[in-house]
């Protein structure tokens, strides 16, 4: 059977796009491969938000040339922001790429997969290819048997905010909001196909407005949460400026919403926020945090922080550190500023690399201490989590995600079976140890639906021997 392998870099917007490509491929008769060496078509969905993501994507694209050399019938497709940005350069940098589709050309990519389908009829993978060592490398997301449990539904494309460090408006264009009725219809379809958790995705998701009625993002969440069969709802990635008290009060009335919000701070200093064109002051950011604490005191708040943005002084950095040390963020994605071609900040005087690295190390340590303490508080509790799949590092373990987005890893129960766990994917994990990256524990119950108590799961063999 013809198969397609999809590897995704970057944000949930890209994961949503990959899901669309997977749906189109499946509808055209492909199976979804979980290893590149098993596929006829390799799709690399790329990201350019950080220099590192761009380099990793090119590394992977070049890596896949090994497969094309072993089997010239393999097709390599690049999509996502890098495809948009480097459309012309790509032929020079990676001439083995067969096709490039920008972020607004996913429908054409789906059509191309459909038109290629017959070329792979009766494909037998060559001996040469079978002998290839697994290509390895860790992608951010590979579409697999559990992917459909988490449905990404795009509510908006592009962004009109033009933060001075960000390439998104340049490669994805300005805001384009989908009408609510289209979004609701797509959520219904995903639920009918087995989705247990729906993630509403937009580059600035809470800026969404229905182009017809003017309804806001809180209204949209209410409408989606009322759909039959919806078990959990979540959203990414909001902008602090667009949260209103009305919207947060809407969230508080929706028990299906996952108890977490991502509030990308970027910097704790007013001077930096101005230079970044973030459209809020530090005081306004603190007000949004206070609103969440007032209406949703149990929600985890996570954030993004950039260190070493052009012009950042020691005092600016200390303002960020102060907020991090206060323990307000359950987790943070921290980055050293990296130049993005075509953005205003790329032309400004840069912070010395040594200074940048030293600040980053301090910030990283400070947030790790806070994150570890957040995870420590889970020890001894039993948490409901949705299965992600076998752990990438240890195939005898299962990776799960809690509703506040903490990774919980546990030994695979003796009755583990991919199809069974895809049908009954809600796992109660008794948390035993905590780390910066998440928690470990034991799976004690398994349920088909989020609201069900679930049935007991047999203890892993190792536990039985120990008792």
Q: How many residues bind ligand SF4 (CB under 6 A)?
A: 10
Q: Are 159 and 112 in contact (CB under 8 A)?
A: no
Instruction: Tell me: does residue 163 bind ligand SF4 (CB under 6 A).
Output: yes
Alpha carbon distance, N-terminus to C-terminus of the chain:
46
φ/ψ (deg, to 5) at 450: -60, -35
User: Toward ligand SF4, which CB reaches closer, 169 or 438?
Assistant: 169
Torsion, Cα 129 135 139 144, to 10 degrees, reads 40
The residue ranges of DSSP E strands in 70-226, in sequence order, are 75-80, 99-101, 141-142, 150-154, 156-157, 176-177, 197-201
Q: Which of 387, 377, 385 is nearest to 412 (CA)?
A: 387
| 9 touching ligand SF4, by CB under 6 A | no
Report if residue 203 touches ligand SF4, rule: CB under 6 A: yes
For ligand SF4, which stretch binds (CB under 6 A), given 74-82, 156-164, 293-301, 459-467?
156-164
236 forms part of the interface with ligand SF4 (CB under 6 A): no
- 21, 42, 159, 300: residue in contact with ligand SF4 (rule CB under 6 A): 159
Shorter beta-carbon distance to ligand SF4: residue 116 or 243: 243
| CA 446, chain centre distance (Å) | 25
| Of 177 and 375, CB closest to ligand SF4 | 177
Q: Which is nearer to ligand SF4, 163 or 324 (CB)?
A: 163
Place of tokens 């078990």: 231
DSSP string covering 235-267, please?
EE---GGG--HHHHHHHHT-TTB-SEEE---B-
- Of 239 and 384, nearer to ligand SF4 (C-beta) is 239
Asked if residue 171 binds ligand SF4 (CB under 6 A), the reply is no
Considering only 3, 18, 48, 204, the residue that binds ligand SF4 (CB under 6 A) is 204
Nearer to ligand SF4, 256 or 336 (CB): 336
Q: How far is the CB of 39 from ligand SF4 (least distance, A)?
A: 31
- Interface with ligand SF4 (CB under 6 A), residue from 101, 161, 309, 360: 161
Q: What burial class does residue 229 get, using C-beta atoms within 10 Å of its C-beta: 0-12 exposed, 13-18 middle, 19+ buried?
A: middle
Number of H helices, E strands in the chain: 17, 20
Query: Binding residue for ligand SF4 (CB under 6 A) from 162, 348, 364, 416?
Result: 162
Nearest to 402 by CA among 260, 266, 294, 288: 260
- The stretch near ligand SF4 (CB under 6 A) out of 60-68, 161-169, 285-293, 403-411 is 161-169
| Closest distance to ligand SF4 from the beta carbon of 307 (Å) | 16
50 lies in the binding site for ligand SF4 (CB under 6 A): no
Nearer to ligand SF4, 74 or 236 (CB): 236
Selected from 150, 157, 239, 384, the binder of ligand SF4 by CB under 6 A is 239
Q: What does the alpha-carbon distance between residue 200 and residue 246 come to, in Å, rounded to a whole number?
A: 19
Kindly state whether residue 102 participates in binding ligand SF4, applying the rule CB under 6 A: no
Stretch that binds ligand SF4, among 32-40, 164-172, 348-356, 441-449 (CB under 6 A): 164-172
Is residue 169 a contact point for ligand SF4 (CB under 6 A)?
yes
Does 166 help bind ligand SF4 (rule: CB under 6 A)?
Answer: yes
Rounded Cα–Cα distance for residues 353 and 139 (Å): 27
Q: Which of 139, 168, 265, 383 binds ligand SF4 (CB under 6 A)?
A: 168
Question: Of 3 and 203, which has the nearer Cβ to ligand SF4?
Answer: 203
Residues 404, 407, 410, 412, CA torsion sign? positive
- Print the SS3 string covering 308-374: CCCCCCHHHHHHHHHHHHCCCCCEEEEEECCCCCCCHHHHCCCCCHHHHHHHHHHHHHHHHHHHHHH
Positions touching ligand SF4 (CB under 6 A) are 159, 161-163, 166, 168-169, 203-204, 239
């Amino acid at each position: 059977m013809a198969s397609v392998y999809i590897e995704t870099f970057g944000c949930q917007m890209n994961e949503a796009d990959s899901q669309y490509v997977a749906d189109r491929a499946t509808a055209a008769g492909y199976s979804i491969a979980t290893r590149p060496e098993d596929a006829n078509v390799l799709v690399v969905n790329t990201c350019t938000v950080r220099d590192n993501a761009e380099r990793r994507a090119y590394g992977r694209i070049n890596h896949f040339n090994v497969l094309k050399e072993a089997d010239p019938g393999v097709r390599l497709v690049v999509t996502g922001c890098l495809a948009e940005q480097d459309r012309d350069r790509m032929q020079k940098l990676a001439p083995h790429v067969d096709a490039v589709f920008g972020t607004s050309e996913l429908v054409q990519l789906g059509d191309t997969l459909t038109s290629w389908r017959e070329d792979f009829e009766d494909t037998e993978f060559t001996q040469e290819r079978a002998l290839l060592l697994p290509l390895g490398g860790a992608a951010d997301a590979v579409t697999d048997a559990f992917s459909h449990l988490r449905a990404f539904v795009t509510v908006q494309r592009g962004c009109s905010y033009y933060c001075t460090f960000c390439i998104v408006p340049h490669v994805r264009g300005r805001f384009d909001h989908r009408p609510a009725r289209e979004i609701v219809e797509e959520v219904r379809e995903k639920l009918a196909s087995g989705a247990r958790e729906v993630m509403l995705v937009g580059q600035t998701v809470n800026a969404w407005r229905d182009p017809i009625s003017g309804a806001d993002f809180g209204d949209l969440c209410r409408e989606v949460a009322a759909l039959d069969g919806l078990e959990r709802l979540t959203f990414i990635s909001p902008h602090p400026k667009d949260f209103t008290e009305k919207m947060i009060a809407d969230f508080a009335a929706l028990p299906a919403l996952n108890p977490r919000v991502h509030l990308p701070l970027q910097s704790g200093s007013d001077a930096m926020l101005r230079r970044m064109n973030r459209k809020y002051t530090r005081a306004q950011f603190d007000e949004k945090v206070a609103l969440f604490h007032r209406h949703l005191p149990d929600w985890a708040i996570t954030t993004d922080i950039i260190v070493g943005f052009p012009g950042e002084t020691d005092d600016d950095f200390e303002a960020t550190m102060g907020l991090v040390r206060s323990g307000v963020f359950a987790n943070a994605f921290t980055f050293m500023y990296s130049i993005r071609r075509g953005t205003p900040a790329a032309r400004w005087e840069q912070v010395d690399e040594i200074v940048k690295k030293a600040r980053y190390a301090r910030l990283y340590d400070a947030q790790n201490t806070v994150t570890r303490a957040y995870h420590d508080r889970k020890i001894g509790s039993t948490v409901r989590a949705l299965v992600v799949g076998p752990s990438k590092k240890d195939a005898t373990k299962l990776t799960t995600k809690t509703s506040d987005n903490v990774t919980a890893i546990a030994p695979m129960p003796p009755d583990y079976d991919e199809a069974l766990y895809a049908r009954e994917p809600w796992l109660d994990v008794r948390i035993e140890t905590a780390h910066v990256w998440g928690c470990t524990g034991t799976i004690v119950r398994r349920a088909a639906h989020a609201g069900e108590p679930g049935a007991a799961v047999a203890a892993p063999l190792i536990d039985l021997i120990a008792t």
